Amino acid sequence: MPLFEPKPDALRPRGHGAPAPDRVPDRSASGTPRTLREELTALLGAEKVLWRVSDLVRYATDASPYRFVPQVVVIAEDVDDISAVLSYAHGRQREVVFRAAGTSLNGQAQGEDVLVDVRRHWRGVEVLDEGRRARIRPGTTVFRANAALARHGRILGPDPASAIACTLGGVVANNSSGMTAGTTRNAYRTLSSLTLVLPTGTVVDTADPLADEELARAEPALCHGLMELKREIEADPALVARIRAKYEIKNTTGYRLDAYLDGTTPVEILRGLAVGSEGTLAFIAEVVFDTLPLDRELTSALLFFPSLPAAAAAVPLFNEAGALAVELMDGNTLRASVSVAGVPADWAELPRDTAALLVEFRAPDAAGRAEYERRAAAVLPSLELVAPVPSVTNAFTGDPAVIAGYWKARKAFVTAVGGARPPGTTLITEDFAVPPSRLAEACEALLALQAEHGFDAAVAGHAAHGNLHFLLAFDAARPEDVDRYAAFMEAFCRLTVERFDGSLKAEHSTGRNMAPFLELEWGPAATDLMWRTKRLIDPEGILAPRILLDRDPRAHLRGLKTIPGVEAEADPCIECGFCEPACPSEDLTTTPRQRIALRREMTRQAPGSPVLARLLDDYGHDAVDTCAGDSTCALACPVGIDTGALMREFRRRRHGPVEERAAALAAARFAAVEAAARLAVAAAGRAGDRLPSAVTRAVRRAVRPDLVPQWLPPMPGAAARRLPPTRRVGAAAVYYPACVNRIFGGPGDRPGPSLPEAVVALAERAGRPVWIPRDVRGTCCATIWHSKGYEAGNRLMADRIVAAAWGWTAGGRLPLVVDASSCALGLAREVVPYLSEDNRALHAELRIVDSVVWAAGELLPHLEVRRTVGSAVLHPACSMRHLGDEEQLRAVAGACAEEVVVPDDAGCCAFAGDRGMLHPELTASATEREAAEVAARPYDAYLSANRMCEVGMERATGHPYASVLLELERATRP
């Protein structure tokens, strides 16, 4: 038994209410039924079958208002796994649902039987024909694919607001479009080819010239049936006209029937039907897109109107002027957006009826942009604009930062409004389309209908295309609230279809919420064709039943999830999944969304339930211990939910009093701890890695693995015993070498000075000398204690370093330059909540600067670059993202190398101080994709700005990463 164990029940939810009606039942506490688990394990291998109740719960949530707990989760690695699962499902009469990012808004990523994860092993982009096409695996995010295409001046047509998280498999399966795609740039119109796995296991590459011949051999009945349906449709001119008319506006309700009109062969028809099919017809194993030019010349404006109909009435004017995007936001959306970083706080005071249009023109060159600006200027004087538009003469801007701020507010629509919803309520997100000429009328009708049913919804949308989104919140645990929602949906669907002949789903695809209303929109004949299509391609109905087709008129009310209250930091979460691609433990244990979803399930349970006990047993490792604590989730979350901070709080709760006292003692005597650590590193350097590895393993067993770091060869050698001499007189800044750079040296095979010596030398060369106080030893930025949740030690060290820094900098008159980005972040921000009142006042006067920022701004302009390397690859530490320092890192690296590359898959390395030494598997998982990208070609230099991140990346890639300042010193050395 280790000496230190977490406090029993420390993670048990506080303030349990009554058990929720949708809680996981006690009988599911043991997870997947044994027979199902054993059969799939024998078929695929144990590592591909997730069966614990905590696994099932964390996969039961997507961005929708629904919640269905699967029987088992399969991590499919390749097409062979997909075929094996489909074959198994056929033989056992089971159901299969594919799940990638889980950002779908209508339950498309949830299943009640076998759920197949097709995200983890399904990433990759191959740029073809100099960017004119791109071959993309279905687990790749839109953002990642566009990053690869941007180098070629190209971009994908679909641009959903969830591009940072949603994957191309889901984009095609839902026929997503987004802000600018409309009906001409969506997935259906810009897709070149697909590779499909049919329910029988047959693989179809629609780009293969022999695909029809091979499909005819493998699936003759399918080919015959598709062509028969095509002939039947084409023989009915009224039906053909109706189908064509339905797609003149955005429409993703039901199967894409115009695939029968656009395709001339079974394979071409299959390609079209798969788009928007929501995984009900086939698995999309690969997509090839025809890309579009990336027009980089932008001019944008955010215009405010006195009412939603007034804003909608202005939309056709901007459409005629050539705007690519005209986005609508109502007053509720604008007021809720103040929770988004950078949105003006005074938006909270906007009048209730205010609405806004975000208008953007894009051109390939400056001349085109000027022409668009002229057209926009002609529109503005006729508009009835209200504050805060400063004036019509300067409403449009080309400033990238301002434009990015506009779009950040717009893309945060769902999360911002969802975060502001009443506690405990479920969020419904719906989208519909009407002819753009009737948008203003539709807005008025929607507002009136919402008021009639007691909803005060938020409305936004792609107004240029007549596409509106609205959000409703209600308590799914209250039958009367569910009935009120059901009445609204019935009235809304009839209004959209009967008054406007609109699309009940414009771009989010049918989903569970609209499946019962499919026939209302399409009529019985077209709906029957959709059912026949499903039976033809998937006769046993194994793929995603009840997601697109469902004859139960109340199917949309089944599986609505309750949202029990959890910790205040996480309660605003609407489970959208934007955080997941940024999470270092995404492919290892849990993501921020899953950590919160598991927490909510704990709260649904009755105290003492076996499900709660199992969830608590797993949560410590899966959620708390393997969280890197880097808080990059807060940067990805539109409303800034910091799940990393919550996990640090949970670590604090799990500490016993003995641990807390030991941590506080280490802080009080940190000078001795620091000296001992440096001596241990030096001794290991002389004795080799075997002894320290064995010792740390033994101590970890005796104390606790999550408390004692593991020695991971090869570790860097010890830092020099003495810091370089400096003088206070004439110093332009105080230089604070972080404790990690006082303990560890640089890469072992790199000749030249240590990092402190390099910083001092650079400052001297630039005529901006720095001073290192003699009493820096024994101080720390407190991150060691902060990241582990040791409160007493954190407070002690935070107060000590701020008081010392106040004296060193002469009361803040000199900047404090810190040579590790994580420590700069710790000193600048993270210590603040833990300071005494007096020290908080002192801290407010300090100027804390990352050494890379100091070098870029204060040193580089005064240095002569004498030699450069050909290429350098950069690893921006996640602390630099928090500080906004990435551009300065690029600038310094750019002075040292002819070519500077930041990998598209660069992210948090999860070394996180010593977290990578506590859980090496976390860093291995977090760095896998970045390391593969780095390994794809050689570089002359491997650079970062944080010593432990450099150690983590060296372990991941096998290349010696070093501080960019060491490279700058070499480049400018006389």
C-alpha distances out from residue 790 to 437, 541, 633, 826, Å: 61, 54, 22, 15
pLDDT at 581: 96
Q: Does the N-terminal peptide bond of residue 747 adopt cis geometry, omega within 30 degrees of 0?
A: no
Measured distance CA(305)–CA(359) in Å, rounded: 13
| Helix 34-44 and helix 79-92, axial crossing angle in degrees, nearest 10 | 140
Structure tokens at 49: 């079958």
The ranges of the chain annotated as CATH 3.30.465.10 are 26-292+509-550
Measured distance CA(626)–CA(588) in Å, rounded: 8
Structure tokens at 635: 């940067």
pLDDT mean across residues, the chain:
93
The angle at the Cα of 231, spanning 227 to 237, to the nearest 5 degrees, equals 150
Is the predicted pLDDT of residue 418 greater than 90, yes or no? Answer: no
103: CB partners within 8 A, 6+ apart: 62, 63, 109, 162, 165, 166, 170, 576, 577, 578
Residues 857 and 891: beta-carbon distance below 8 Å: no
Is the predicted pLDDT of residue 908 greater than 60, yes or no? Answer: yes
Between strands 297-305 and 191-197, the pairing is unpaired
Closest CA to 672 of 785, 528, 530, 777: 777
The DSSP bridge partners found for residue 325 are 360
The DSSP bridge partners found for residue 770 are 733
Please give the torsion angle defined by the CA atoms of residues 540, 542, 546 and 551, in that order, rounded to the nearest 10 degrees.
0
Is the predicted pLDDT of residue 164 greater than 60, yes or no? Answer: yes
Measured distance CA(60)–CA(110) in Å, rounded: 6
369-384 tens-digit pLDDT: 999 999 999 999 989 8
pLDDT at 703: 65
pLDDT band at 1 (very low <50, low <70, confident <90, very high): very low
Closest CA to 178 of 502, 471, 467: 467
471-523 tens-digit pLDDT: 999 999 999 999 999 999 999 999 999 999 999 999 999 999 999 999 999 99
Q: Which CATH number fits domain 865-972: 1.20.120, 1.10.1740, 3.40.50, 3.30.70?
A: 3.40.50
The ranges of the chain annotated as CATH 3.40.50 are 865-972
Q: How crowded is the C-beta side of 142, counted as CA atoms within 13 Å?
A: 24
Residues of the chain with pLDDT > 70: what percent? 97
- Residue indicated by tokens 């983890």: 120
pLDDT band at 73 (very low <50, low <70, confident <90, very high): very high
Closest CA to 476 of 526, 418, 427: 427
The DSSP bridge partners found for residue 136 are 125, 287
Closest CA to 176 of 185, 164, 186, 161: 186
Residues 405 and 420: beta-carbon distance below 8 Å: no
Sheet holding 203-205, edge to edge: 125-128, 133-136, 283-290, 191-197, 203-205
Residues 190 and 292: beta-carbon distance below 8 Å: yes
Q: Taking the chain, what is the end-to-end CA distance rounded to the nearest angstrom?
A: 59
pLDDT at 694: 73
351-368 tens-digit pLDDT: 989 999 999 999 999 999
Residues 118 and 283: beta-carbon distance below 8 Å: yes
pLDDT at 773: 97
C-alpha distances out from residue 904 to 141, 147, 153, 164, 900, Å: 12, 7, 16, 13, 13
More confident: 647 or 699: 647
The ranges of the chain annotated as CATH 3.40.462.10 are 297-506
| Helix 237-246 and helix 220-234, axial crossing angle in degrees, nearest 10 | 100
pLDDT band at 414 (very low <50, low <70, confident <90, very high): confident
pLDDT at 700: 66
The angle at the Cα of 835, spanning 829 to 840, to the nearest 5 degrees, equals 75
What mean pLDDT is predicted for residues 289-308? 95
Residues 159 and 169: beta-carbon distance below 8 Å: no
Q: 297-506: which CATH architecture? A: 3-Layer(aba) Sandwich (3.40)
Q: Which CATH number fits domain 26-292+509-550: 3.40.50.1820, 3.30.465.10, 1.10.3720.10, 3.30.499.10?
A: 3.30.465.10
C-alpha distances out from residue 337 to 57, 63, 407, 634, Å: 30, 19, 11, 16
pLDDT at 571: 94
Measured distance CA(205)–CA(598) in Å, rounded: 39
Residues 120 and 150: beta-carbon distance below 8 Å: no
The angle at the Cα of 625, spanning 623 to 628, to the nearest 5 degrees, equals 90
pTM equals: 0.95
Is the predicted pLDDT of residue 711 greater than 80, yes or no? Answer: no
What mean pLDDT is predicted for residues 155-170? 96
Measured distance CA(733)–CA(767) in Å, rounded: 11
Fill in the DSSP letter of residue 498: I
Residues 262 and 155: beta-carbon distance below 8 Å: no
| Helix 518-537 and helix 237-246, axial crossing angle in degrees, nearest 10 | 110
- Residue indicated by tokens 């596409």: 467
Flag the least confident range among 9-23, 142-156, 314-328, 445-459: 9-23
- Residue indicated by tokens 């807390």: 660
541-554 tens-digit pLDDT: 999 999 999 999 99
Measured distance CA(116)–CA(110) in Å, rounded: 10
C-alpha distances out from residue 959 to 684, 754, 821, 951, 956, Å: 21, 18, 21, 10, 8
